[in-house]
Every structure is written in structure tokens, then in C-alpha cells.
Structure 1
Amino acid sequence: MTAIAQGRTRRTALMGAMCALVLGLGTTGCSEDPDAGTNGVGKLTAEQIQSKTKKAAASVDAVRLAGSVVTSGKTYKVDLRLKADGGAGSVTAEGATFHLLRVGEQLYLKADAAFWTHEDGKSDDSGTDTAAADKLDGKYVKVPTGDPSYKKFSGFTDKDLLLDGLLSLQGSVQTDGHHEQAGVRTIRITGDGGSGGTLDVSLEGEPYPLRLERAGGAGTLTFSSWGKEFALKEPAKGETVDYGQQLPTS
């Protein structure tokens, strides 16, 4: 055996020993197949992965999503739990936090008095604005279906509508390697090399979406608690206020 061949043999043996040590420590850095022991989604095309993750997301009744959404020039920080017939959680925009609750078609919004005060922070001479804000402070306010706020905010609690829009990457879809999200192995797909958004899909269990970076820097969201049931019921009468046909301008 030549010296070169002997050197190559020693290097191969050394690499094998190092991989054995790494694998013994519970990592997969030396595995020849990064999809070994997974659900196999990582071996599919990007289009197939996107299709499968959409179907997986639609097949379960509940999910939690948290992060930021940028729309119409505003950034909304959200932490919501959604299911087929409604949802609940918090939304923060421009420093103000409010809570949304939708049960069936009925939507409720709860916030402090400052949220309900007119944007200029002033009340009229009779104090009407302040009185209205005080009345609504900390109460679940029924949002009339004809009010502009209903369409604006009910979308945050519509699981199917929200996910259908969020999970569609823009442009040409491609895979972008194996990654990890919250300790779970994922396969990443991108739209137009990332400018059209990126989506991490679980390689463990069902191929649920776990993390989304929206196109154009329009926010980042994480998805969890897939299929975990939670209680959803209308607030007690003492906790609600029926303001009327139209909410005050906030």
C-alpha cells in the first residue's frame, strides 16, 4: 500500500470515529441521510411540500400562532389560538393592546379606556368621548357585523382564511435545506429565493408549518399547539357591553 493510500485510509478511519462520537452525543451532523427517521417530506419537491403542509394545517381544528404581521403599513403583534368556529388572543398595534374573542359569528373586542379614546386624546366639551371610553374600559364589546372593525379584526380569528393566505409563498418555490425550529427538525421552502417568504415545515410527525417569514418583510410568525383543543365560549353578561350599531372611532 502506498503512503498516499495509507494516509487516505487513516483519514477515513478518523472521520468514521469522529462521526461515531458525534452520533453518540445525540446529533445528526454526520448522518448520510438527513431525512432518516423523519416523515419523509424533506425528499419531496418544494411544491409538494407546500401542498402537504397546507393540507396538514387544514386537517386539524386548532392552532396557536404568535409573532408579527405587517399590513396596510401597520405592524400587529399577535398571540392567538384559533379553531374552526372562532378564536381568542391578544393583538398589539401602535403601543395599544386589545383582546379579540370570536365565538361563531359573534366577535368581541376588549381594551382599556385609552384604546377607545379618540386619537387626538381629547374629549368634546360634554365629555362624551371620555364617558364612552370609561364605559368600555376592560369590557368585552360586541362588534356589530356591519361595523368596519368587524371585517378588519374578525380575519385575525378566522383559522382557515388566515392560514390559507399566510401559507402561500410568492414566486417560484424551492427547497432551502434542513433546519430546526424549537427543537424540531424542519425542511425549509422559499419563494423566489426568500424574497417571496420562507416556511419551515416539520419533519417530525405531521408536516405542520412551524415558522413563517412573510414576503417583503411583512412579519414573522410561529405556529404551535397543532390539534390541541381549547375552550372557547362567550363572556358572561356582566363582562360585556353592547355599544350599538357602530363602535366609537379609536
Structure 2
Amino acid sequence: MTNRTSGPGRRIAHVAGAVALVLLAGCTSSTSPPEATTPPGTAATAAPTSPAPTVAAPAAAEILDRAKANAIRATSAAFTGRVEQGGVEMLVDFKGTSDGSASDITLTSGSAGTARVLSVGGAVYIQADAAFWKGQGVPSPFPAEKFVKVPAAAAQFSDEFSLNALVDEAFAAVTSAQLSDTVSSEVVNGVDTWVVTDARGAGEGALHVSKDRFEVVRFSGSSTSPGQLDFSSWNADLGITAPPSDQVVAPG
């Protein structure tokens, strides 16, 4: 690997590794469960039906512990969203395996440009626009539609891009002592979730966890570390493959 790509590679790796941690400096507002509606076919003048029995919410600490355990055991996952660092918003799109053997990450940060890092098959590929390469001091940017292969960095990238590494960093920033005792409900992306928040309020961070599987659905940041990440595809086959050979160029 040449100096031309080692700098950008390290920069992207460190940024991606910090994405989950940024949101969890603290632990969306929440809403109450939906009210029961009158069954179809019931006359408008009929007396309202009784609300469906409410399932008691688990304790906030239990929700956190079960979500963490499931995330650690997961083989793969995806998340999309935004984080803010130093007043600059960054958009992130991640999918990857727990061991880092395959990952596909795209980061966009305003004037800093967009970079996609694909790690698969023991090799790493970077695809970026001119703004990104310019920010890294590359005098002659690679074509934006091409991937630059950097196989020598594969071991380092696999460690930094693994789902396990991101999960470990994220949950290390949250303890049950930080959580409010109040647990609420909210439907997020079509998923019925339990919502636990920072003890200082939802504005200082929230965690949405699916009621049926106790999988993380959303992380929301704090007032000092704004942002939101929506999770999906836990334990799914993410279909990450190497780019076609005609889309790959060697570093110059």
C-alpha cells in the first residue's frame, strides 16, 4: 500500500469506529401506546370497547442488558443515520458482519465529501469523490466511480469495521445507572419498541429496542452529541461482495 491511500484509509477507519460511540455520550421523544379503536363493523353509536390489556414494560436496566446481549451475539447488522462531530454533521450508512470479515460503509460530511469503504474477501476498497481526495491532500484524485484496492490494510480495517467493535464502543458508553426508570413505547420504522432514556430526559439520549426480539432499533444522541442511527437487518445475509474488476484501480 502506498502513501497515497494509507492516510485516507486510516482516517476513514477511525471515523467509522467512532460513529456509534458519538451517539451514546448519554444514553426522540416517546409516545404512549396507541389507543384501542372500535372494531370494524361496529355501529358509530355503540359503546366504546375496553382497551386491550397493557403489557407491563420491563425495567430499563433489563431492556438495556438484553439489547446489549443480543447485539453482541449478532452475526451482522446494518444502520443508517447521522451524527455530529465538532458542529459538522456526518451521514453514515453501515452494514457489516460481527467479525469484520465483510463491511460496506459510506460516510458523507459536507465539504469533506463522500467516501465508501468496502472490506470483503481479505481486501479493502475505497471509493470517494474529488472533495474527499482533495481533503486528504491527494493531488490527482482517483475517478469517483472507481474503487482503489488497498489489500495491505485489510487486517486493520477488519478490526475497526467489525460490528462487534462498534457495539462494544457503543454500549461501553452507557450504564443502567444513567437511565431513567420510566420506560415508554413508540413505533419506529414499523417496529413496536420499548424506549429507555437518559435520566436527564429524552433530549439527552434514548434507546429504542424491539419488544418482540429485544434488538436495537434506534440510538438517539444527546444535546452535546446530536444524532440518530436506525438499525436493521440483525443476523441477516447482507450480500456484501467485492466490486467488479473493471471498477477497481490500483493505487498510483
**TM > 0.5 fold call:** yes
Whole-Å Cα distance in 2 between the matches of residues 145 and 214 of structure 1? Answer: 35
Which residue among 142, 163, 167 is the counterpart of 2:167? 163
2:51 paired with 1:30: yes
The equivalent residue for 1:210 is 217
Alpha carbons of structure 1 residues 32 and 222: separation in structure 2 relative to 1, 3 Å: same
Alpha carbons of structure 1 residues 23 and 200: separation in structure 2 relative to 1, 3 Å: farther
The equivalent residue for 1:90 is 106
Query: Is the Cα–Cα contact under 8 Å of residues 136 and 241 in structure 1 kept in the other structure?
Result: no
2:83 paired with 1:69: yes
Aligned structure 1 segments of 4 or more residues deviating by more than 3 angstroms: 71-74, 143-147
The equivalent residue for 2:133 is 116
Structure with the greater alpha carbon radius of gyration: 1
Whole-Å Cα distance in 2 between the matches of residues 161 and 196 of structure 1? Answer: 24
Question: For 1:126-184, what per-residue CA distance to the aligned partner results, in whole angstroms no more than 9, with x for missing partners?
Answer: xx82xx21x4432212347679xx77x974x3211112223443662234312221222
TM norm structure 1: 0.67
Alpha carbons of structure 1 residues 220 and 34: separation in structure 2 relative to 1, 3 Å: same
The equivalent residue for 1:222 is 230
Look up the SS of the partner of 1:233 in the other structure: coil
**Bigger relative CO (Cα 8 Å, ≥ 6 apart):** 2
Whole-Å Cα distance in 2 between the matches of residues 99 and 115 of structure 1? Answer: 10
**Structure 1 gap segments, 5+ residues each:** 1-18, 36-41, 121-127, 245-250
AA paired with 1:192?
A: A
The equivalent residue for 2:147 is 140
The equivalent residue for 2:178 is 172
Whole-Å Cα distance in 2 between the matches of residues 51 and 181 of structure 1? Answer: 20
Report sequence identity in percent.
Answer: 24
Query: Is the Cα–Cα contact under 8 Å of residues 107 and 154 in structure 1 kept in the other structure?
Result: no
AA paired with 1:67?
A: G
Look up the SS of the partner of 2:93 in the other structure: strand
2:200 paired with 1:186: no
What is the Cα deviation at residue 211 of structure 1?
0.9
Moved more, 159-168 or 182-191: 159-168
2:117 paired with 1:100: yes
Figure out how many residues of one structure are paired with residues of the other and give that number: 201
